Amino acid sequence: MSKEKKQFETESIRTQSETTQFSEHSVPLYITSGFVFDDAEEMRASFAEEKQRDLYSRYSNPNTNEFIDKVCKMEGAEAGFAFASGMAAVFSTFAALLSAGDHVVSCSSVFGATHGLFTKYLPKWHIDFSYFNINEPETIEALIKPNTKFIYAETPTNPGVDVLDLEFLSALCKKHNLLLIIDNCFATPYLQNPIKHGADLVVHSATKLMDGQGRVLGGVTVGKKELIRDIYLFSRLTGPSMSPFNAWVLSKSLETLAVRVEKHCENALKLATFLEGHPKITWVKYPFLKSHPKYDIAKKQMRLGGNIVAFEVEGGIEGGRNFFDNIKMCSLSANLGDTRTIVTHPASTTHAKVEPEVKAAVGITDGMVRCSLGLEHIDDIIADFEQALK
């Protein structure tokens, strides 16, 4: 295959593992735990890493290699490692890079399980953290300490759909000699490439839009070679690796990422525009709506606005709950990034027990609804919303 860099869509389709003697067109599934060697010398050289090849599927496998290769090309990264889930990617990245006594500065509106890592587990290993509010980036610098190792953030955030300026963050990290790690799950590599804006590592839950069909779990971390090397050494020892089957499914999913995400975003913008004109909706947040407080930053660093729309139904918690209960076609679920449109009412469900200050800090109000736009026809999605708002 030519080494010349091609367009995003082409790379996601034409990056394939080597064809076998059967000349298959579509890449086969390599369900094997191990690999065999010709002789003692080959095995010695392979384990000594003098020879690049697959040794054992906890380390690497043709299917995971292909998946990693694609994500690296999509993100403009040097290297990567694939994990069994997004959380395995987040945890292994943290565990490989952090030591007792280190400190992390993170955006407070991070994925719930990541918040759990910061608050419940990192303290156990004497690793401290400080949170900043995504809407107050001017407060970040004061949180940096001599033992701060990296800044961690998600943009756009969940569920508030707030946006953080990646170039600003990267300049701050360079100034203080910190690493910048971005969870790029909501944007996908099609919409946003944090490495191009100065991030050192990018983490993904491949479970969401990368698969996009709600089938398998997966995660991946890509970025600077020497950092990935540390993550690889930690992971090949501790075993959070992605299964060849999931890598095979996900590599196929990536072939259609561009066309799927285009449509997801088109539907999201249409729904957001409809909601903005609806009398029972008090506010709508979507990065590519001019009314979004960070519209200019979103335009600067994202190709399109993503598939998540947040909005508030009038009438507080009852209003939000009523809307949620009256939805007929769309799915009521906490998941996101599926072909099926999903609606969540955080205040009465996932965040029902969370303190009001915490909810406010991540953009959750009583009537707030988060919608993950799917690929159904937009007229049917809007019709479902319209009847639920009546």
| Residue 153 binds to ligand PLP (criterion: CB under 6 A) | no
The least CB distance from residue 95 to ligand PLP, in Å, is 15
Site for ligand PLP in 176-235 (CB under 6 A): 183, 185-186, 205, 207-208, 217, 219
Of the two residues 182 and 313, which places its CB atom closer to ligand PLP in the complex?
A: 182
Alpha carbons 206 and 292: distance in angstroms, whole number: 27
The least CB distance from residue 369 to ligand PLP, in Å, is 17
Lay out the site mask for ligand PLP across 51-90 (x = CB under 6 A, - = otherwise): ----------------------------------xxx--x
Write the single-letter amino acid at 365.
T
User: Across the beta sheet with 201-205, what order do the strands follow?
Assistant: 79-83, 219-223, 201-205, 179-183, 148-154, 103-107, 128-132
The least CB distance from residue 186 to ligand PLP, in Å, is 6
**End-to-end C-alpha distance for the chain, whole angstroms:** 57
| Residue 365 binds to ligand PLP (criterion: CB under 6 A) | no
Cα–Cα separations (whole angstroms), residue 250 to 67, 85, 162, 254, 255: 7, 12, 28, 6, 9
Beta partners for residue 132, in sequence order: 107
Of the two residues 154 and 200, which places its CB atom closer to ligand PLP in the complex?
A: 154
Of the two residues 137 and 219, which places its CB atom closer to ligand PLP in the complex?
A: 219
Of the two residues 203 and 228, which places its CB atom closer to ligand PLP in the complex?
A: 203
Of the two residues 67 and 111, which places its CB atom closer to ligand PLP in the complex?
A: 111
- Helix or strand (DSSP H, E) at 298: helix 295-301
The least CB distance from residue 289 to ligand PLP, in Å, is 21
Of the two residues 31 and 113, which places its CB atom closer to ligand PLP in the complex?
A: 113
Site for ligand PLP in 99-118 (CB under 6 A): 111, 113
The least CB distance from residue 172 to ligand PLP, in Å, is 21
Residue that is written with structure tokens 């072909």 in the block: 339
Q: What is the DSSP letter of 149?
A: E
Q: Show Cβ contacts of residue 231 under 8 Å, excluding neighbours closer than 6 positions.
A: 81, 92, 93, 96, 97, 221
With CB atoms as reference, the residue minimizing the distance to ligand PLP is: 86
Of the two residues 217 and 258, which places its CB atom closer to ligand PLP in the complex?
A: 217
| Residue 154 binds to ligand PLP (criterion: CB under 6 A) | yes
Give the burial string for 209-244 (b: 16+ CB within 10 Å, else e): bbbbbbebbbbbbbbbeebbeebbebbbeeebbbbb
For 316-341, give the DSSP string. HHHHHHHHHHH--SSEE-S--SSSS-
Of the two residues 344 and 365, which places its CB atom closer to ligand PLP in the complex?
A: 344
Contact positions vs ligand PLP (CB under 6 A)? 85-87, 90, 111, 113, 154, 158, 183, 185-186, 205, 207-208, 217, 219
